[in-house]
Amino acid sequence: MDTAILHALRQTWPPFVLVAGLLLIGAVAATDRLFEGSGAWLARVPGNGLVLFGSLMGLVAAVTVVLNLDTSVVFLTPVVLHAARRRDLPERAFLYGTVFMSNAASLLLPGSNLTNLLVLAGRQGGSSFAAAMFPVWVTSVVLCGLVVGVWRRHDLRGRGQRSFGSVPGRLGFGALGVVLAVVLVLGLRAPALPVLAVGAACASGQLVTRRASLAPLRRAVNPLLLGPLFVLATALGTLARLWGAPARLLSDLGTPATSLLGAAAASLLNNLPATMLLSSHVPAHPRALLLGLDLGPNLVVTGALSALLWLRVARAEGAAPSVATYSRVGFVVVVTTIGAGLAVLRW
């Protein structure tokens, strides 16, 4: 029992520390209005709604890759909605595209999704992981954008009202933290503590030099949320090691079945407990498992924390997200992206 707990702790603490650091950096960047300024700038780009949609989805994908998908949905959902409203365009494509793209784009770097870190458990560096996952990531991002764009194609044909308003962003501690996070995640096999140190330093610098409020940082790195999730992950990791059945099941499955099991488990249980149950031992097909665990949550809003955060933020911004619409469109997104991703993996 003690050995199983120790092994589970060794698997779980680095991912949670790294995510806490990335969330801190994201909160500092948001306070510097980097995300808001980027969204306002994109709203002024010439072109119709499709151009704006593609540009904003690119921003969502980039922030997801660098700063984690939870950072993306929390800080970019308001930005994307405001950009659509600035142009007087229907917002449904932008609303659902943000959460679907955040999940789809979370395949590229270890820190992009907590599930990546838990499955890897420090066994692969950021640059080698990115090189292996890049073809699948590109496929998932492009197809996710296409599915949502085709779904709301009539909304996106209009040009709307081109907005010339600007929101000045600040190139301060937030931008510095983003750059350092990319370098550390790509360059180090164990970047958790260095990234947390960068996040803490950037947050402290911002608080001291700008006398900023502590509230955004506290909301971003919420110990009442991360703490129970850490305990749950450790407990499930211990159970999986003592039980052994999930590992035995995965060892008998091929690539497609591994991916489908990951997607089904994430949809039924949420991707965090699903990851801990399925990754207590090194899986035979880790990339296929991540394909299911990262993309499967696009099927139901309870499949990942990111979708639950998206629901809360979207409602706070006056949008009206529908759980039924999420699943109806998400089914097409999941089938398309996982199917194409499996084809890329086999190729």
Cα 119 to Cα 191: distance, rounded to the nearest angstrom: 16
Residue 182, exposed/middle/buried by CB under 10 A (0-12, 13-18, 19+)? middle
The pLDDT value given to residue 157: 87
The pLDDT value given to residue 167: 59
Question: What is the pTM assigned to this prediction?
Answer: 0.88
Task: Collect all residues with Cβ–Cβ distance below 8 Å to 144 and sequence separation of at least 6.
Answer: 57, 97, 100, 101, 104, 105, 298, 333, 336, 337
Q: Which two tokens stand for residue 245?
A: 């059945």
The pLDDT value given to residue 172: 81
The pLDDT value given to residue 2: 66
Cα 25 to Cα 202: distance, rounded to the nearest angstrom: 7
Segments making up each domain of the chain, as ranges? 2-346
Cα 73 to Cα 64: distance, rounded to the nearest angstrom: 8
Q: What is the mean pLDDT of each run of 10 residues along the chain (347 residues)?
A: 75 81 87 85 85 95 92 91 90 97 95 87 78 95 97 85 59 87 84 90 83 64 75 81 74 89 91 85 88 96 90 92 97 97 89
The pLDDT value given to residue 305: 86
The pLDDT value given to residue 1: 60
The pLDDT value given to residue 166: 59
| Residues 62-81 pLDDT 10s | 999 998 898 899 889 999 99
